[in-house]
Amino acid sequence: MLRSSSAPCSTRLAAALALALPVLAAHAAETERLAPVVVTATRSEAPPFDVPASIDRITGEELRAGRAQVNLSEGLGGVPGLLARDRQNYAQDGQISVRGFGARASFGIRGVRVYVDDIPATLPDGQGQITNVELGTVGRVEVLRGPFSALYGNSSGGVISIYSAAPTGTTRADASVGLGSDGLKRVAASASGTAGAIGYTLGASRFETDGYRQHSATERRLGNARLHFKLGADTQLTVIANSVELPEAQDPLGLTRAQWQADPRSVDPSALSFDTRKTMQQTQGGLVLEHGIDASNTLRVMVYQGHRTTTQFQSIPVATQASALHPGGVIDLSRDYQGADVRWRWKGATASVIAGVAADELSEHRLGYQNFVGTTLGVQGALRRDETNHVSNADPYLQAEWRPTPAWLLNAGVRRAKVSFTSTDAYITRTNPDDSGAASYSATLPVLGASYAVSEGLHVYATAGKGFETPTLNELAYRPNGATGLNFGLQASVSRSVEAGLKARPWDGSEITLALFQTGTEHEIVTQTNVGGRATYQNAGATRRRGLEASGSFHLATTLQAQVAATWLDARYRDGFLTCTATPCAAANQQVNADNRIPGIARTSVYGALTWQSSGGWRLGAEARALSKVYVNDLNSDAAPGYATLAASAGYQLSLGPWDLGALLRVDNLTGRRYAGSVIVNDGNGRFFESAPGRTWLASVNGSYRF
């Protein structure tokens, strides 16, 4: 396991800023709410109301207000079509799916592209994570859904773009401390401001918890910095750097239905005997240079580089590892990744054109070890795997926008995506052959869209596009028949999407969106086996996702605001296929019927929130969430029951000269509802269920000082 010999920079920064502020107060319950202005996830600045696509913009204040600021999923409930679930397991990333894409991920995020300050948090193979997001410094989050997402290339069933807050000019320092149920502790500090031509946003936080379930304790440290340099009247340079460290995150694994019903806080005995856990460190940085060539032409260059190490102990039985071909129960990964995005934009009076190329590269050294030595379990044993994997892409893209009349807006775009995989095997023995190999996937991804302004307060639009999704390195990592080497027999899946929608502002202070969509996919990548921490995959036939999304925000009075979001999503296999019920699996033998539901996807989800904020500093909030049942496997033989939960918060803010001081109290799951907050899709051990906490509380104090 990786251990830090000294306090990380994020912890030192948090301590220094905290000591500099003698009073802790209310940054998270801040009363100032910034109205959405523009979105940039479509690569050109535009008000979200005018974009012919489903796109939501959540400000940093909205994301943090009345919340623990631990997981991004806390503040995304109001985005229709997006399902973000906290797994209560920090050895795995949160579960995020968009219109059903990404629902099958057992760990990390796949099928959805994630960007943090324009740097991809999704690697070129399509696997991503969001553990490096420091919520205290987030300025806004943009969520793009539907056909336009395909312009981001591989595995872009949706796009989530997260941006650090831009400095406002006033130098400001913030600090916060939060305590909660199950030993939750979060300490954070940040600072922002400008000094001449330089602007800065800095932040750091430390989070720890004992966990709701047994064997789920975690510590996480985050640091984030974004610096702006004005190099001239038409040139700006942005420097981004962030780090994340998990000194150790215990992995409680999933529960069988019987275990979950008997005690939702329990763990499977194998988690304890093998001490399942994960250690991770990541640092990355990037530069974004924007230069205005003239009044019509702009050049933008982004480059980035990062390094990530992960060590994970799994619960694979000793007997299973007896095979000479088994890669072991300890995964040791070292990843270096880098890339660039060079973009030119021409903007005229009624039209604009964007042309660019995005290139990304990942080099991975993957080691596998036995998870035992003699009779001692949960320790690193003999080497069983040693390979170097490489993934790269270089995708040119072109987008155009034309407004032939004030009411009409036409959009078109195309991307040529190509992803190449190579694997070099260095673990070659008499019984373990050389398994080196290579594979390449490519596709041309066109998108068309149009919107029409029926009136100033009513826009209608329609879009259509094609997307594709390659297997990730983790999905290629194992062969279902137990043989060694990568599963290069997997094909990429191809999808075609159409969407129609409307955006309306029926009265001042209100906005309503409605979207109807359908996506058909060929060669869907599905689980074939998933036992003992080893998942293998295959291509099924066709699938269909169709649905309806609706959302609304309303200022009901000067001090009262309401928000609602609802999604209906019908996701099914259109072709039957065979899957496995045992590992190794020389031949699939269990029939999955056509018309079965795709697992991990809720058919309906509903979110509602009311916020009351007085001029005197009090802020009260209430949230309701409801989710229908979620099937746990392709066979549809079991499902996590549907549920509804309520949460309430109360905060107070006080301004004393340059100080803003405040406090927050929040209670989640007010009724103490027992439910599975997430599921592990197609787990071969039947451990599908991940328990959500019962009634929990959070108390925090926050403060800021304006210099």
pLDDT (tens digit per residue) in 171-220 = 999 999 999 999 999 999 999 999 889 999 999 999 999 999 999 999 99
Q: Which 3 state secondary structure label does DSSP give 492?
A: coil
Which of 110-114, 342-346, 642-646, 660-664 is the least confident region? 110-114
For 150-159, what is the mean pLDDT?
Answer: 89
Q: What's the rounded Cα separation, in Å, for the pair 596 and 463?
A: 28
Q: What's the rounded Cα separation, in Å, for the pair 177 and 138?
A: 17
- Domain that includes residue 322, residue range: 9-706
Q: Are strands 113-116 and 158-164 parallel, antiparallel or unpaired?
A: parallel
Q: What's the rounded Cα separation, in Å, for the pair 585 and 482?
A: 7
Give the strand order in the sheet containing 54-59. 54-59, 138-145, 158-164, 113-116, 119-120
Question: Cα separations (Å) of 294 from 302, 304, 346, 440?
Answer: 20, 26, 10, 40
Task: Give the pLDDT band (50/70/90) at residue 6.
Answer: very low
Full 3-state SS string of 119-179? EECECCCCEECCCCCCHHHEEEEEEEECHHHHHHCCCCCEEEEEEECCCCCCCEEEEEEEE
Residue 27 predicted with pLDDT over 70: no
Q: Is residue 453 part of a domain?
A: yes
Per residue in 77-134, pLDDT (tens digit) is 999 999 988 888 998 877 899 999 988 877 778 889 999 999 999 999 988 888 889 9
Nearest to 304 by CA among 477, 488, 122, 555: 122
For 313-318, what is the mean pLDDT?
Answer: 93
Q: Is residue 548 part of a domain?
A: yes
Mean pLDDT of the chain: 89
H-state helical runs in 153-264: 257-262
Q: Are strands 158-164 and 138-145 parallel, antiparallel or unpaired?
A: antiparallel
Q: Is residue 395 part of a domain?
A: yes
Q: Is residue 118 part of a domain?
A: yes
Stated as kind and residue range, the H or E segment containing 10 is helix 9-20
Structural contact between residues 323 and 277, judged by C-beta atoms closer than 8 angstroms: no
Q: What is the largest CA-CA distance in the chain?
A: 77
Stated as kind and residue range, the H or E segment containing 142 is strand 138-145
Dihedral angle over CA of 38, 72, 82, 476, nearest 10: 110
Check which CATH number belongs to the domain holding 670 and give it: 2.40.170.20
Q: What's the rounded Cα separation, in Å, for the pair 553 and 561?
A: 7
Q: What's the rounded Cα separation, in Å, for the pair 41 and 352?
A: 16
Q: What's the rounded Cα separation, in Å, for the pair 294 and 315?
A: 60
Q: Is residue 1 part of a domain?
A: no
Q: What's the rounded Cα separation, in Å, for the pair 120 and 113?
A: 8
Nearest to 626 by CA among 648, 641, 647, 605: 605
- Helices (H), strands (E): how many in the chain? 5, 41
Question: Cα separations (Å) of 192 from 158, 286, 289, 536, 653?
Answer: 31, 19, 21, 46, 20
Q: 173: which 2 tokens?
A: 């320092």
Instruction: State the total domains in the chain.
Output: 1
Residue 377 predicted with pLDDT over 50: yes
Q: What's the rounded Cα separation, in Å, for the pair 5 and 390?
A: 31
Q: What's the rounded Cα separation, in Å, for the pair 54 and 145?
A: 5
Q: Is residue 102 part of a domain?
A: yes
Q: Are strands 297-313 and 560-573 parallel, antiparallel or unpaired?
A: unpaired
Nearest to 92 by CA among 4, 218, 181: 218
